[in-house]
Amino acid sequence: MSATERPHISLVIPVFNERDVLPLLLEAIGAFRTSRPERISVLFVDDGSRDGSAALIREESGSLKDISVVSLSRNFGHQIAVTAGLNLCDADAAIVMDADLQDPLDVAGSMIDRWKEGADVVYGKRIDREEVSFLERLTAGWYYRFFRSFTGLDAPLDTGDFRLVSRKVMEAFRELNEQQPYVRGLISWLGFKQEAVEYVRPGRAAGKTKYPWRRRLDLALDGLASFSGKPLRFAMRLGLLISAGSFMGLVWVLLTKYVFQTAITGWASLIFAAFFFGGVQLFFLGVIGSYLARVYDEVKGRPRYVVGSTWRSDPDSHP
Ligand code: UDP
Ligand code: MG
């Protein structure tokens, strides 16, 4: 950014089948832009939407300037879409936000103010969430706390992907070529000057969540696996413990037979022990396997996303 130019901030918005909410979003962005002194552009990353979301954005924003749509060639998933957006963004700062207006634009405004005061990363910290089930709130709350103690990463609590990142952070992020990026963790890992703005997270403005429980769980496990190898060490420790325990069991069995001369009955329990340890073994084989699968993905080194097409609104038209 040169001294004479207005700072340029880009809203990076992943979109997957968001037809229902897009008109509301574009309207809100229009109002936000006129309220801000900075140049605000929008980079939509269409993550393989099948409901014509990209076409809708093109139609509705034909007369708005500074809007781009990068359409990925298929659905690659939210984290990859965000990664693509951050890699393609050419602004002085980027704000990653949901398409569904769950990440309020006035909070984005506070993020910009903090950035102007010198912060490199400004993340949105949820102090409360509307329209979220008790169970979801509880599990998410626990997860962030567990994640921190488990990985030892200084990651903020109750924080999703809603955050502003400066140019410097975007450049550093670009160097991280992980196949399965856990974006919020990686940005914490990068360091720099990170600050929080607190907000109450509203419910979705329209449409349905694109994160069913299964995908949520995958994201949670991805986060843990990408920042810690502890499960592997835990498998080893548990194995040692069980071996030591069974050795003592063996001593006890020999003692009862040769010293106390009592016959041991009830060996039906044996089959349950066999099943139990079979289960434990399979479980940890799965844990090891999932790390191996991550290694396999890294080794293949495929591009993480493929851009299908790019569209830009007329740069000379009016806001
Ligand atoms: N999203 C995406 N690709 C996907 C799933 C979701 O780009 O495969 C986008 C979605 O359009 C939204 C954001 O990621 O802008 C977050 O999804 P959503 O709001 O459904 O998640 P939630 O807020 O319910 O956790
Ligand atoms: Mg959402």
Ligand nearest, relative to CA of residue 161: 1
pLDDT of residue 319: 47
d(CA 14, CA 34): 23
Take residue 243 and report the two structure tokens written for it: 């071996």
Determine the Cα angle at 201 with ends 135 and 31, to 5°: 155
Strand runs (DSSP E) across the chain, as ranges?
A: 8-15, 39-46, 67-72, 93-96, 121-129, 159-166, 194-201, 307-312
The confidence score (pLDDT) of residue 154 equals 87
- The ligand whose atoms approach the alpha carbon of 14 most closely is 1
The span from the CA of 227 to the CA of 232, in Å, is: 12
**Cβ–Cβ < 8 Å for 77, 47:** yes
**What's the CA gap between 36 and 26, in Å, rounded?**
15
**Which residue's structure tokens are 């990925």?**
72
* Packing angle of the helix pair 22-35, 53-60 (nearest 10 deg): 40
Q: Which residue has the tokens 């599990």?
A: 139
Helix or strand or coil: residue 129?
strand
For 231, phi and psi rounded to 5 degrees? Answer: -55, -30
DSSP category for residue 192: S
Q: Give the pairing of strands 307-312 and 67-72.
A: antiparallel
What token pair was written down for 270?
A: 């044996």
The answer to whether the CB of 104 is under 6 A from ligand 1 is no
Give the ligand whose atoms come closest to the C-alpha of residue 74. Answer: 1
Q: Is 71 in the pocket of ligand 1 (CB under 6 A)?
A: no
Q: Does ligand 1 come within 6 angstroms of the Cβ of 102? A: yes
3-state secondary structure of 10: strand
Minimum-distance ligand 1 atom for the alpha carbon of 208: 20
Report the amino acid identity of residue 166.
S
| Residue labelled with tokens 């769950």 | 102
Tell me, rounded to whole angstroms, the distance of Cα 225 from its chain centroid. Answer: 13
Distance between Cα 196 and ligand 1 center (Å): 22
Which string of DSSP letters, residue by residue, matches 41-79? EEEEEE-S-SSSHHHHHHHHTTTSSSEEEEEESS---HH
Place of tokens 């229902």: 20
Ligand 1 atom nearest the C-alpha of 99 is 15
| Residue 48 φ/ψ region, left for φ over 0, alpha for ψ in the -120 to 50 degree band, beta for the rest | left
Q: Is the CB of 213 under 6 A from ligand 1?
A: no
77 lines ligand 1 (CB under 6 A): yes
Cβ within 8 Å of residue 231, ≥6 positions away: 224, 225, 287, 291
- Of ligand 1's listed atoms, the one at least distance from the Cα of 48 is 3
Q: Is the minimum distance from the CB of 120 to ligand 1 under 6 angstroms? A: no
Q: What's the one-letter identity of residue 83?
A: T
Profile the chain (319 residues) by mean pLDDT over runs of 10 residues. 76 95 92 92 96 91 84 96 96 95 94 96 88 80 86 87 96 94 94 93 84 86 87 84 82 81 68 78 86 92 94 66
Q: Give 149 Cα–ligand 2 centroid separation in angstroms.
A: 26
Spatial separation of the C-alpha atoms in residues 319 and 303, rounded to whole Å: 35
Pocket test for ligand 1, best of 12, 71, 78 (most atoms within 8 A of CB): 78
